[in-house]
Structure 1
Amino acid sequence: MSTATVQGAVIRSGELEFRQLDGCRVATAVGPHLGARIVRLDVVRVPSGAVWRPQSSAHEENVVVVFAGSGSAASGAARRRVNRADTVYTPTGDLYELSADAGMDLTAYVWNTTLRPDRAPGTEPRRFSRLWNEETQLKGFTGTGQAEASARTATMNFLFWPGTGSPQLCLHCGFMQPGEYFNVHVHPESEEAFIAFEGKGQLHLDGQWYDAEPGDVLYAPPGVPHGTRHPDEDPAAPRFATCGGPTPFDPVLYQRAGVSTKVR
């Protein structure tokens, strides 16, 4: 059973409930059943040699993170080979597609949202990236004051964000070495949905820390404190990485990083 409260939820990957849909298996980790009104996070398992092509995606803004397997992905007319940790962005108006290689299933986490009337896609949005892209980063994040901050701060990569043409969704990857934190914070107007992608660590939700393993999901509604940490003090321990982001994007994160919040 997921660890859930009125103020959000931590959803364990082993307890996601999958349904058959268009030849694939789909589980909704975050959605209306948790009270989410802005963002939905689906987990999609594409069988060997099969294709996932949701027609509804043309009406939404979508971000895909490949969690396991390999194949190809399309964003509108653009197509690329994808493997674990590759990422795909599709603006409203375009379809996305995922194809699994023969002999290997492909698992992806997919964020989607409906654009607000005052927002529009960027002029030339970035469509493909990778979680380990270090082009634009936030370092030294001290949180927003809801909990004591650690000086041992994690690093966050910005993959899809206003600077790459994303008007509402974003995708960030935070990676923590042993003892590091992405300090507790809130988003006043945004719903946060992110996953534990690599290694073992802990997720903070509304005053409590929860152990997390790859595939686990955290959902925090607007104003609810959340964060991450790598509690292992052994310097040889593998890093802990998470990915996701607030919807709509929170300009505070980009202001802290010293970059523009203008959608390109």
Structure 2
Amino acid sequence: MATAVGPHLGAHIVRLDVVRIPAGTRWAPEDAAAEENVIVVFAGGGHATSGDEKSDVRRSDAVYAPTGDPYTLTADASGELTAYVWRTTLRPERTPGTAPRRFSNLWRTETQLRGFNGTGEVAAADRTATMNFLFWPGTGTPQLCLHCGFMEPGEYFNVHVHPESEEAFIAFEGEGQLYLADRWYDAVPGDVLFAPPGVPHGTRHPQDDPSAARFATCGGPTPFDPVLYQRAGVSTEVR
């Protein structure tokens, strides 16, 4: 296990770990129930538990474990499982949802944000990406969230800031670029971006070839930023 985002980068709210589980073995972190956790399977497969619920998982599947509930990941006998794990300690003023969604997938399209023009730090591009909301207040998550932004060639998720949130996200699929502070950086699957509160960031697919594979990222601001849901026209109330 490696910590991609944590105190060594100045993160005080969110931590992002990379976990590799050998074939046929189970990972059950002892301190999981003390935190809110979101897990995305990056490679391999197996099954996961969250509280009393269980599901098979493969690449792009996601798991949510609310504060108070443990979770486990078990790799198939045929190969190791690699996952990214977002962790946070729930703030006292935040109340868990009553029946949170525990399993999802990055390509779930039921709730989306389209046409996001950023927050004005950098001139906005007209061709905007689409973002899926997987775990968010509408599914019962009070502090963490999980979004998947996907970009066809030439599309942007425009540069923006979160005034009070730390954001950690990963490049999940394809090749593109990540913006941080004042410049663009090339990114491939597995690369990680961390933006402290108030630091501009965004993503884009800079290629012109319309046949190029899409570029996708996943993660989200912690605590969740209500502006994203307000822009999408959905409630910010934790269900």
Matched, 1:89 2:67: no
Count of matched residue pairs: 239
Aligned to 1:223: 198
Aligned to 2:219: 244
Fraction of identical pairs, as percent: 76
Matched, 1:57 2:32: yes
**Cα distance per residue 1:132-184 (max 9 Å; x no partner):** 00000000000000000001000000000000000000000000000000000
Aligned to 1:233: 208
Aligned to 1:17: none
**Cα distance per residue 1:12-33 (max 9 Å; x no partner):** xxxxxxxxxxxxxx00000000
1:1-264 aligned within 5 A: 26-264=1-239
Shift in Å, 1:111: 0.1
CA distance in structure 2 between the partners assigned to 1:42 and 1:205 by the alignment: 20
Tell me the TM-score normalized by structure 1.
0.90
CA distance in structure 1 between the partners assigned to 2:209 and 2:219 by the alignment: 26
**Cα distance per residue 1:210-254 (max 9 Å; x no partner):** 000000000000000000000001000000000000000000000
Shift in Å, 1:113: 0.1
Tell me the TM-score normalized by structure 2.
1.00
- Following TM superposition, where does structure 1 have runs of at least 4 consecutive aligned residues deviating by more than 6 angstroms? none
* Contiguous gaps of at least 5 residues in structure 1: 1-25
3-state DSSP of counterpart to 2:158? strand
AA aligned to 1:180 is E
CA RMSD of aligned residues (A): 0.3
* Contiguous gaps of at least 5 residues in structure 2: none
CA distance in structure 1 between the partners assigned to 2:184 and 2:59 by the alignment: 27
**Cα distance per residue 1:35-87 (max 9 Å; x no partner):** 10000000000000011100100000000000000000000010000000000
Aligned to 1:4: none
Shift in Å, 1:103: 1.8
